[in-house]
A and B are shown apart, each in its own frame.
Chain A
Amino acid sequence: MNMSFRIFKNVLKQGFQGMWRNRGMGLASVGSITAVLVILGMVLIMILSINNIVNETQSKFDEVQVFLEDSVKEEQIEEIGNKIKSFGGVKNLSLVTKDDAMKIMKEDLGDKGYSFEGLEDENPLPNSYTIQLENIEYADKVVENVKDIKGIEGVKYYKDVINKLISTANYIRVAGIIAIAILMFISVFIISNTIKITVTARKKEVNIMKYVGASNGYIRGPFIIEGILLGLIGAVLSILIVNYGYEYIFHFINERLYVIFTVYLVAPYTLLKDISIMFVAIGVGIGTLGSLVSLKRFLNV
């Protein structure tokens, strides 16, 4: 064992001792770090899931469905089609007749398709056009133009849905960032107070250490180690909570609600590695910062 290793071992030991002696406040510190990280985890999962939904369904968003009134005659249908084709941004136009619509519906329903047997003559489904847009940007303009054409019963497109999703994601992101920033600040404050208690308890010792010629690192080390340990414990706890908690919720949704819904959610454990790295880094960062703030304020070395 060389000198610097012995010094490191001493500093580490004192850091652990400090944490153990001061475990009441330590618990508060760990709790606050865990809270920050769990909320961060929840926000992350929500945002990632919404992004998933947006991406997965993106292909559907460049389609606009135009439903025609039943009173519209066949020649008029073609006329309407030509009009739509003349609008800018329309890439492709396909007619879905009443019969096509019925077929599609039967196929979609599979076994249950028989309930539509005999309905062919008085088919309730409308004729419709499916417009493929060159780009989703054109959606609003095309829809506006199409609505002006006579004989249109309704227009269905997904841009409002996607807009709502994106703005929800933004709200979650902003609210999450604010909550996390406030909680981080509180955590740093709580930790700096925890360390302050250890500093005060060891003031005499530190004073003697100074006169005997302990290096600044040797004096500061134990307090910073204490902060790092608090951060590390908080990080481990929150990694466990976020992973197991999310797994539980994911399976709950999967079993009780819709499988369709969970398809869009981030699968449990895919995030484990990233979240672990991120949480440990943030936890240790908060801990170290808390110690440094405290040493700056209460320890003159």
Chain B
Amino acid sequence: MIKFINVSKVYKNGTKALENINITIDKGEFVFIVGHSGAGKSTMIKLLLKEIEPTSGKIILEDKDITKVKNRRIPYIRRKVGVVFQDFRLLPNKTVYENVAFAMEIIGSHPMEIKKRVPEVLEMVELGEKANDYPDQLSGGEHQRVSIARAIVNNPPVLIADEPTGNLDPDTAWEIMKILKGINGRGTTVLMATHAKDIVNCMKRRVVALEDGKVARDEEKGVYEYEF
């Protein structure tokens, strides 16, 4: 599904963000990527989203080498990867429904299909009743649920969540985790970069710990960190 083969990334200013990363993530996995700020989590996500290119190594997504692709192919790679950010990134002048439908309009989906699919997805994130609300009428957790709905509405095989609970209180964070778990349960591979120790420890999922740009730990049913 996703493979990093000997991937290194050195930024133009000389910062070594990733060094020789080798990870294989199978279809349907739920993987936490943990580590301190600057450990390389964001760089990994940016590589998968084709915002940057690796300095060396190979990245494979759904059996396709995406290491070096032409600019105009990039949008089609991004359609395979839904993404959720810490800061939600909703359009304030569009309703919940429109924010989600927007993602389908962009890729030219049939209006009938949009009308059918958007309520379905809003139901999945338990926002069916807020379809006509504007973002400023929503709570933080609801914001994030809209952004999750938008990320999965086009059925991407992979969902990347970059600190999705970073701006939320613990209870709301758990709501979000429940939803992500549900999405993963339907077969979507989920990659979540996070600082939330409690969540990682309770979920008992695969944990990839990055330290100074290297994989320090990669364990099934892992925890955030060991206390010595």
Residues of chain A whose beta carbon lies under 8 Å from any beta carbon of chain B: 1, 3-4, 6-7, 10, 204-205, 207-216, 218
Bound together, the chains give a CA A4 to CA B108 distance in angstroms of: 7
Bound together, the chains give a CA A210 to CA B107 distance in angstroms of: 11
Give the secondary structure class of B's interface: helix
Is B78 part of the binding interface, using a Cβ–Cβ cutoff of 8 Å? yes
Return chain A residues, CB-CB under 8 Å to B228: none
Return chain A residues, CB-CB under 8 Å to B71: 216
Is B154 part of the binding interface, using a Cβ–Cβ cutoff of 8 Å? yes
Give the secondary structure class of A's interface: helix
Return chain A residues, CB-CB under 8 Å to B150: 212
Most buried by A among B76, B77, B103, B106: B106
A215 with B91: in contact, given A10-B105, A208-B102 (CB under 8 Å)? Answer: no
Is B204 part of the binding interface, using a Cβ–Cβ cutoff of 8 Å? no
Residues of chain B whose beta carbon lies under 8 Å from any beta carbon of chain A: 49, 71-72, 75-79, 83, 89, 91, 102-103, 105-111, 150, 154
Return chain B residues, CB-CB under 8 Å to A4: 108
What are 25 pairs between A and B in contact, CB < 8 Å? A1-B110, A3-B108, A3-B109, A6-B108, A6-B109, A6-B111, A10-B105, A10-B106, A10-B108, A204-B89, A207-B89, A211-B78, A212-B78, A212-B79, A212-B102, A212-B150, A212-B154, A213-B107, A214-B106, A215-B72, A215-B75, A215-B76, A216-B72, A216-B75, A218-B106
**Shortest Cβ gap from B33 to chain A (Å):** 18
**Shortest Cβ gap from B159 to chain A (Å):** 12
B49 and chain A: residue at smallest CB distance: A211
Leading 7 A-B pairs by shortest Cβ distance:
A213-B79, A213-B78, A3-B108, A214-B106, A7-B108, A212-B103, A215-B75
A209 and chain B: residue at smallest CB distance: B106
A301 and chain B: residue at smallest CB distance: B71
Determine whether the beta carbon of B106 is less than 8 Å from that of A212. yes
Return chain B residues, CB-CB under 8 Å to A208: 89, 91, 102
